[in-house]
Amino acid sequence: MTLPTTIRRVLPQLVALFVILALNTAIAPGFLDIAFANGRFYGSLIDILNRGAPVALLAVGMTLVIATKGIDLSVGAVMAIAGAVAAALITSDHSLAATILATLGVGIVCGLWNGALVAFLGIQPIIATLILMVAGRGIAQLITEGVILTFNDPGLVFVGTGAVFGIPFPVILWVAIGIAASVLFRTTALGLLVEAIGINRRASSLAGIGTSALLLAVYAASGLCAAVAGIVAAGDIRGADANNAGLWLELDAILAVVVGGNSLMGGRFSIAGSLIGAMIIQSVNTGILLAGFPPEFNLVIKAAIIVVILVVQSPASQTLFAFMKSRPRSEEDAAAPVREPEKEAAR
């Protein structure tokens, strides 16, 4: 057990990811092949990284929201809005920079709306974000006038389908945003303050933490991530599909956070864990597609695999593992100086 803490934290997720990838390799012989063609790497592994981008992006923001004991159901709808805004602006001859800035701004505004409902009006996050989840798709449809708004702007298409040094641009985006968010929250005190709010908002407020401002900030961050995901999804198909863009992805994002070992009860969080969670989900999706089972089995297989992962991660199983591990180590523990013999009894 000499691994650094950060790696040890996501070890169960890495193991799960490895097992799924191994299963995929067994099912699809060429699964691990990576070729270089048309200026980009090409292969199923790359597909997983690339197709998982929207959920990974959403999961970054969702992790932060969930760390505050909240939840953001609106991210799928915000993706649709962002895609619609981007497509509408670029097709009415705005510059790429203006389009992207405005779209990201819209995402932040959506997040601030959610955050204000939660922080100032005290509405439960699940209800507060449900409002935009329901209304958001309608707003997106109003913007696109009910059609798939197609565009051919090379810049916007690049966001969804381009590649830098052979790596698909969406992959670079989610990795970069994931690292940036981790660095921002771990090198500053934001991580600690967000965790404190998630564990005990009242006590945090009494300790002088600006809880309302921080809640606004994390929901805005979630909206921003959703807007980036929305641009990626629209760029990918060169069009804004208000009816389908991001549909049900809020649930995949929440699942990614949970599979990543984060608790819905808030508190301790790991963005890396959530990103690995997103990759686990996408590996399952891609594996199912490669396996060639009839589509009626898709959801059943996915659910079964997720259940196994969650059961392995559950507190009950963790206790069991800890118990099994503790057996040979108990002497070593007993030898360590313990000032408080009755840990378990303290309330």
What's the min distance (Å) between Cβ of 256 and another protein?
17
Our finding on whether 91 is near another protein (CB under 8 A) is no
Question: What are the φ/ψ torsions at residue 310 (nearest 5 degrees)?
Answer: -70, -35
Cα 338 to chain centroid distance, Å, stands at: 40
Question: In 86-104, which positions are buried (b, 16+ CB within 10 angstroms) versus exposed (e)?
Answer: bbbbbbeebebeebbebbb
Q: How far is the CB of 190 from another protein (least distance, A)?
A: 5
Q: Interacting stretch for another protein, rule CB under 8 A, among 96-104, 111-119, 271-279, 285-293?
A: 285-293
Asked whether position 324 contacts another protein by CB under 8 A, the answer is no
Q: Phi/psi of residue 103, each to 5°? A: -65, -45
Shortest reach from residue 301's CB to another protein, in Å: 13
Binding to another protein by residue 9, rule CB under 8 A?
A: no
Cβ–Cβ under 8 Å, residues 71 and 264: yes
298 binds another protein (CB under 8 A): yes
DSSP notation for 100-168: HHHHHHHHHHHHHHHHHHHHTS---HHHHHHHHHHHHHHHHHHHHTTS-EE---HHHHHHHH-EETBEE
Q: Contact with another protein (CB under 8 A): which of 154, 292, 315, 328?
A: 292
Contact call for residue 3 and another protein (CB under 8 A): no
In the complex, the smallest distance separating the C-beta of residue 202 from another protein, rounded to whole angstroms, is 5
Task: Give the C-alpha separation, 177 to 253, whole Å.
Answer: 15
Task: List the end-to-end C-alpha distance of the chain, in Å, as a whole number.
Answer: 29
Secondary structure class of 40 (helix, strand, coil)? strand
Give the three-state DSSP class for 22: helix
For residue 55, which of 170, 163, 136, 220 has the smallest C-alpha distance? 170
Q: Which of residues 105-144 bind another protein (CB under 8 A)?
A: 141-142
Count of chain residues binding another protein (CB under 8 A): 78
Among 1, 3, 38, 165, binds another protein (CB under 8 A): 38
Nearer CB in complex with another protein: 93/342: 342
Q: Site for another protein (CB under 8 A): which residue of 14, 42, 312, 313?
A: 42
Which of residues 4, 294, 315, 328 is near another protein by CB under 8 A?
A: 294
Which two tokens mark 126? 């699940």
Rule CB under 8 A: is residue 267 a binding residue for another protein?
A: yes
Q: Please identify, using beta-carbon distances, which residue of 10 and 40 lies nearer to another protein.
A: 40
Q: List phi, psi (to 5°) of 164.
A: -120, 125
CA distances from 134 to 127, 130, 301 (A): 11, 6, 29
Nearer to another protein, 93 or 340 (CB): 340
Considering only residues 217 to 246 of the shown chain, the ones binding another protein according to CB under 8 A are: 233, 236-239, 241, 243-245
CB 61 within 8 A of CB 275: no
Instruction: Verify binding: residue 47, another protein, rule CB under 8 A.
Output: yes
Cβ closest to another protein, residue 15 vs residue 34:
34
| Interacting positions 179-218 with another protein (CB under 8 A) | 187-190, 192-193, 195-196, 199-200, 202-210, 214
**Per-position x/- string for 54-73, each x denoting binding to another protein as judged by CB under 8 A, each - no binding:** --------------------
- Binders of another protein in range 141-170 (CB under 8 A): 141-142, 145-148, 150, 161
Within its chain, how far is the Cα of 3 from the centroid?
25
User: For residues 110 and 240, which CB has a smaller minimum distance to another protein in the complex?
Assistant: 240
